[in-house]
Amino acid sequence: MTLRLQARLADALASGEFYEAQQLYRTLSFRLTARGQYDEAASLLYNGATALLNEGLHESGGDLACQMVAAQAKSTAEPPSVEFVSRVSALCRLMKPGSPEREMLTAKSIELLKPHQELKQQLHREFGFNYWIERNYSLSQYHFVRSSDAGYHFGRMLVEYSQLGYKSEVDLFLALTVLQLLCLKKLSPASVCFYTYTRHHPSLLRTQAPPYPSNYPLLNFTWLLLMSIRSNWPLSCFQYLCQVYRAPLDRDPICGEYLIKISQLFFGVPAEKPDQSGGFFGSIMRMLATDDAALDAEDAEGSDPGANHNAVSLKADDMD
């Protein structure tokens, strides 16, 4: 950047000529990218976007923010870095919640990082924190699920989020999240999220350790499911858990879809198109049924899904 253009840009910002400043940022970044100086162009655009957003100029600042992503995308020699993730997160925090500019920046940056999974998951983590601060729990959950190392903070956010719903769904709320994480093969974040939630939720403060209260049966199911995966319990144990806890799991049909995926990822069940007759639990029972792993149906009948946790553990030990 020449001294003359630097002076013009400084004068435009100082005098409130923000449209002129925006055009100067675009012109200068175009010259830098034409010379292959993509990192310099990205840095310039980040500074410009920050300056305009701090002045409340969300459309102009958002335009420069998206130009920053475009400049970064042109750099084939230097892949995106952690600094890029930090810049996108910082710019999103300056933008209005729900604004088209923020949505555009979010979509473009995620698209750019698709070949870089570690950075992409870090960006999702940043977005999860941003939306948590704004109390936009739904979008925070969406991004935390897709991050890699946010188990503890994800659990704390879910404690807040769950208190907006019915007290009777304290266990379902967590179970759905853990199942979703397991479907993405995120076993460690799922475990950390589970134990963080159960140790900090106000409805569970009297519960020092598993087993959990019988009025929250899906907490016991999720605890045993995580244990079965970590301890490499056989397929028959997974089938048994699904049978014993079928009634509370039936509270949300999506549980069956998640469990089919989990059976394929962690218990070696071949991927097949589910038979919709009988619902997803009918499908999963048919998929999991094998001659050598057939279970005594009488043992499963009459079991109390919320209170019979000892029977589940003993049965699992017998099968191991």
pLDDT digits over 104-122, tens only?
A: 999 999 999 999 999 999 9
Residues 6+ apart with CB under 8 A from 121: 146, 147, 148, 149
pLDDT of 297 over the 70 cut? no
pLDDT at 59: 95
Domains of the chain (ranges; CATH) run 1-112 (1.25.40.10), 232-320 (no CATH)
Q: Which of the four pLDDT bands, split at 50, 70 and 90, describes residue 262?
A: very high
Q: Please give the Cα distance from 62 to 95 (Å, whole number).
A: 8
pLDDT at 4: 80
Structure confidence by residue, pLDDT tens digits, 179-222: 999 999 999 999 999 999 999 999 998 776 788 888 999 999 99
pLDDT of 76 over the 80 cut? no
pLDDT of 70 over the 80 cut? yes
What pTM was estimated for this model as a whole? 0.82
Structure confidence by residue, pLDDT tens digits, 1-58: 567 877 888 898 899 999 999 999 999 999 999 998 999 999 999 999 999 999 999 9
